[in-house]
């Protein structure tokens, strides 16, 4: 399997290094072969080439079977021209690879119950949900967009726009995912206000005809934000548009108490998928061996699960082995600073990965 590796900025490099050690161990243990090639994205790419997404990076990603990403961005590039901000690199590669489906699982590791921000009686009901976020449409990419002067004052605008085919293909991903889980799909929109949401709901209902075995519900986004903290156990799969999904997936992750634990997959039709932790580049702790590498290690598991081809053979078992090793490491009491608790074995990024490797 050919993997394009993009460490990016901040803690990106240190967490990706640890994830690659896991990949090496998988290769040695399971007789798999991974060819990795590194590419620049985000702030480091701006420094080296002037662009957050150099041509060479796009080429390497397209030639790979999968892409592993650390994180992009940092204060160093905050004042830069918005057109070449580090985040542009990430948005650009999503678009270039047609990665319209972003899967963000948020589940509570029983070992990390204490880290959960919610009341114990709510936590007791469990959190195990999947946000399926549309990733290449909506206000993120819609035109017209910009800031201009009209009647003597500045006006800023974006366009939340979706065509039917964009809605139906992400709805299908949502239904398929629900089918493999508890068969409940909640489509989140703002159909009481937005025209684009009214179409969203109509199309999702049309697609649901093909999935009679999946129970479909609809929720307005403001209510969904509230229900996520009031009782997250009610959700199985949530499908929603780009901006709502950006917001709700951060909320869904942090209620598990462990944004440093959660992986994500961005998938398109036929293109290599992109796998990354959902957390950011955490410049405040970069280079101090403090970052939690588990989200990136779990992203490797997702990578193997979703990028298996005829060439590579089914890697589901390997993915499960990595996830099992992470869980065992937690049950042994190893914790990085973000998930520390009294009496735990507080470790750094490298030592956390050491423990996972020993358990793999
Ligand atoms: C995410 C991030 C990105 C987004 C940023 C960094 C462009 O917040 O992956 O959720 O808004 O999609
Ligand atoms: Mg986000």
What atom in ligand 1 is closest to the CA of residue 102?
9
| Percent helix, strand and coil across the chain, each to the nearest 5 | 50, 20, 30
**Nearest in space to 22 (alpha carbons), one of 262, 273, 253, 303:** 303
What is residue 176's DSSP assignment? H
Q: Token match 């239904």: residue?
A: 175
List the residue whose alpha carbon is closest to atom 7 of ligand 1.
Answer: 87
What is residue 97's DSSP assignment? T
Of 199, 224, 255, which one is at a domain's C-terminal end? 255
- Asked if residue 110 belongs to a domain, the reply is no
Alpha carbon of residue 118 to chain centroid:
22
From the list 62, 113, 172, 250, the catalytic residue is 250
Side-chain-side CA neighbours of 342 within 13 Å: the count stands at 0
Same domain, 233 and 131: yes
Same domain, 250 and 167: yes
Angle between helix 294-307 and helix 316-331 axes, rounded to 10 deg: 160
Same domain, 230 and 270: no
Ligand closest to the CA atom of residue 91:
1
The CATH number of whichever domain residue 49 belongs to comes to: 3.40.718.10
- CA–centroid distance, 152 to ligand 2, in Å, is 34
List the residue whose alpha carbon is closest to atom 5 of ligand 1.
Answer: 87
From the list 222, 231, 284, 314, the catalytic residue is 222
Taking only Cα atoms into account, the Rg of the chain, rounded to an integer number of angstroms, comes to 20
Provide the domain count of the chain: 2
Of 200, 225, 255, which one is at a domain's C-terminal end? 255
Same domain, 232 and 143: yes
- Asked if residue 244 belongs to a domain, the reply is yes
Name the residue range of residue 180's domain.
Answer: 117-255
pTM of the model: 0.94
Side-chain-side CA neighbours of 79 within 13 Å: the count stands at 1
Same domain, 302 and 360: yes
- Asked if residue 349 belongs to a domain, the reply is yes
Q: Which residues, judged by CB distance below 6 Å to any ligand atom, belong to the binding site of ligand 1?
A: 87, 90-91, 246
List the residue whose alpha carbon is closest to atom 11 of ligand 1.
Answer: 246
Same domain, 243 and 271: no
Same domain, 64 and 152: no
Terminus-to-terminus CA distance in the chain, angstroms? Answer: 20
Q: Is 250 a catalytic residue?
A: yes
Q: How far apart are CA 329 and CA 334, in angstroms?
A: 6
Per-residue pLDDT tens digits of the chain, which is 360 residues long: 999 999 999 999 999 999 999 999 999 998 889 999 999 999 999 999 999 999 999 999 999 999 999 999 999 999 999 889 999 999 999 999 999 999 999 999 888 988 888 999 999 999 999 999 999 999 999 999 999 999 999 999 999 999 999 999 999 999 999 999 999 999 999 999 999 999 999 999 999 999 999 999 999 999 999 999 999 999 999 999 999 999 999 999 889 887 889 999 999 988 899 999 999 999 999 999 999 999 999 999 999 999 987 877 889 999 999 999 999 999 999 999 999 999 999 999 999 999 999 999
Torsion, Cα 142 70 333 259, to 10 degrees, reads: -20
- CA–centroid distance, 151 to ligand 1, in Å, is 33
- CA–centroid distance, 107 to ligand 1, in Å, is 20
Same domain, 133 and 82: no
């Amino acid at each position: 399997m050919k993997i394009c590796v993009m460490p990016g900025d901040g803690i990106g490099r240190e967490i990706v290094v640890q994830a690659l050690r896991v990949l090496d161990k998988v290769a040695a243990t399971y007789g798999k072969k991974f060819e990795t090639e590194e590419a620049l994205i985000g702030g480091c790419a701006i420094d080296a080439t002037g662009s957050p997404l150099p041509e060479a990076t796009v080429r390497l990603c397209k030639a790979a079977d999968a892409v592993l990403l650390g994180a992009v961005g940092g204060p160093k590039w905050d004042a830069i021209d918005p057109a070449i901000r580090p985040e542009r690199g990430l948005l650009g590669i999503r678009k270039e690879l047609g990665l319209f489906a972003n899967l963000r699982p948020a589940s509570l590791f029983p070992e990390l119950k204490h880290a959960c921000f919610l009341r114990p009686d709510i936590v007791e009901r469990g959190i195990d949900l999947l946000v399926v976020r549309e990733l290449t449409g909506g206000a993120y990419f819609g035109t017209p967009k910009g800031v201009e002067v009209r009647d003597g004052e500045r006006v800023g605008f974006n366009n939340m726009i979706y065509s039917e085919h964009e809605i139906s293909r992400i709805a299908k991903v949502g239904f398929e995912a629900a089918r493999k889980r508890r068969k409940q799909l909640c489509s989140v929109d703002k159909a009481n206000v937005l025209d684009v949401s009214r179409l969203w709901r109509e199309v999702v209902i049309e697609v649901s005809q093909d999935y009679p075995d999946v129970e479909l519900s609809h929720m307005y986004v403001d209510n969904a934000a509230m229900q996520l903290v009031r009782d997250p156990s009610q959700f199985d799969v949530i499908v929603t548009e780009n901006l709502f999904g950006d917001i709700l997936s951060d909320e869904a992750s942090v209620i598990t108490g462990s944004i440093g634990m959660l992986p994500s997959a961005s998938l398109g039709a036929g293109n290599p998928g992109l796998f990354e932790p959902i957390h950011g580049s955490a410049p405040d702790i970069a280079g101090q061996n403090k970052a939690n590498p588990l989200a990136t290690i779990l992203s490797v598991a997702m990578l193997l699960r979703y990028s298996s081809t005829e060439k590579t053979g089914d890697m589901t078992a390997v993915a499960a082995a990595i996830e099992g090793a992470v869980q065992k490491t937690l049950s042994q009491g190893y914790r990085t600073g973000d998930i520390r608790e009294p009496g735990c074995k507080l470790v750094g990024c490298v030592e956390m990965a050491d423990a996972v490797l020993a358990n793999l």
